[in-house]
Structure 1
Amino acid sequence: MGSSGRRVGRPRAEQRPDSGVPPRDELLAAAAELFTTSGYAATTTRAVAERAGMRQASMYHYVSGKEELLAALLESTVTPSLALARRLLADDSRPAVERLWELCRSDVELLCGGPHNLGGLYLLPEVRSERFAGFHAVRAELKDTYRQLLAATEAGGALAKSALDLRTDLVFGLIEGVILVHRSDPERPVSAFAEATADAALRIAGV
């Protein structure tokens, strides 16, 4: 998905001055807005390019098309949480229950704190295809980190594997599902919502 193999410097659309933002980032921002407001299937590459302030032909210098944009947006909802999860998993100076709570809280803030409902893109049927294997891989690793942190708690460590897997599924499902709850009340403070969700996740986990 990287742009290292693509040329840069194509002319920008004349109606929009150069903002100083890298063109690929402008395309991602435009795609995020259009995919979540107009729908992925209904959004054309021409619409994305125009919203980003460039010609459609120029767009293909930075991305291969809609699928690459969607894949990058999906991964952007996971990779920051995964980086934090790895750090929390390695930090045995704090109780596992505290680290699990922090991961839940931070993950909710990431999913609900952006300007667009990117979490809603998880439900697109296109996302099940092999083209999005990278997203599924990082999401699976994040979910496994949740499982490992839960297993490291006193209550989680006493669970059989099947019970541990079920509680992990429930906690992870709650965290990913909060975007739908938050969407119904977008004025709700994200920080308070994230803390309340983390509290609920630990209750579901039984810790």
Structure 2
Amino acid sequence: MTSAGPGRPRHQQPSRPGATARDEILDAAAELFTTQGFASTSTRSIADAVGIRQSSLYHHFKTKDDILEDLLEGTVSGGLKFARAVAASARGDGTAGSRLHAVALYDGTQLCGARWNLGILYHLPEVRSARFGRFLADRQELRSLYGKLGAGLSPASGAGNPDASCGDFTFRLVESLINLRADGLATPESPLQAADAGLILCGLVDELPAARAESGALIERLG
């Protein structure tokens, strides 16, 4: 048996990605929660998947809910940070359409690019409780930022009636990537397709080529 630090005796060498034992625990839990279900996964099975004792897992997380909370927050933290940066940037920093497109593309890429499809856990009954209030608040803030960006849209064609619902509609399109991925249908182009579809359905089809270019520039600068 090798040692991985005080209080963390291992049964085997580390085999999971992550710079720390905490990262390895989160990766193992993410795999088990998304493949065999949250309720069916025990802390012992998570510890076994990492190669540590169950008592060592409790050195990092007191409960299975604590692990789930960290994982859920990780699904929105990157997108929320970027959306805040876009919302706080100067109004002249891209058109309203490009700003919404950038947030949708960045957020969708985060959801599709994560090692495990944790978004499928959003609708667990457990997640609706106050216990996960911080995650729920962050997700709602992200949704609200989509709405604010959508409210600023002004189709050059005069079509449509932009308001907060355009942003919310785009938010829903991006989160639909979770189910697309669960069905094995997501591709590397899926985040861009979702972002494009949001603008098209908001009446910005004529502005899409320019919005795409400005969106990429925003992501490069603020992402």
Identity %: 40
Gaps of 5+ in 2: 205-223
Match of 2:198 in 1: 201
Match of 1:94 in 2: 94
In the alignment of these two chains, the number of paired residues is 194
Match of 1:173 in 2: 172
Once the 2 structures are TM-superposed, how far is the Cα of residue 146 of structure 1 from its aligned partner? Answer: 0.6
Matches of 1:89 and 1:183 in 2, distance apart? 30
Conserved 8 A contact 1:101-1:202: yes
What's the secondary structure of 1:62's corresponding residue? coil
* More off after superposition, 13-22 vs 80-89: 13-22
Matches of 1:51 and 1:61 in 2, distance apart? 16
What's the secondary structure of 2:47's corresponding residue? helix
Once the 2 structures are TM-superposed, how far is the Cα of residue 206 of structure 1 from its aligned partner? Answer: 3.1
Matches within 5 A, 1:1-207: 9-17=6-14, 21-91=19-89, 92=91, 93-155=93-155, 164-186=163-185, 188-190=186-188, 192-207=189-204
Once the 2 structures are TM-superposed, how far is the Cα of residue 159 of structure 1 from its aligned partner? Answer: 8.8
In the superposition, the TM-score normalised over structure 1's length comes to 0.85
Once the 2 structures are TM-superposed, how far is the Cα of residue 22 of structure 1 from its aligned partner? Answer: 1.1
Matches of 1:182 and 1:127 in 2, distance apart? 21
1:88-111 deviation per Cα after TM superposition (whole angstroms, max 9, x unaligned): 112222111101101111111111
* More off after superposition, 95-104 vs 84-93: 84-93
Match of 1:4 in 2: none
Conserved 8 A contact 1:12-1:18: no
Once the 2 structures are TM-superposed, how far is the Cα of residue 67 of structure 1 from its aligned partner? Answer: 0.4
In the superposition, the TM-score normalised over structure 2's length comes to 0.79
Match of 2:219 in 1: none
Once the 2 structures are TM-superposed, how far is the Cα of residue 167 of structure 1 from its aligned partner? Answer: 3.1
Conserved 8 A contact 2:160-2:203: no
Gaps of 5+ in 1: 1-7
* More off after superposition, 17-26 vs 107-116: 17-26
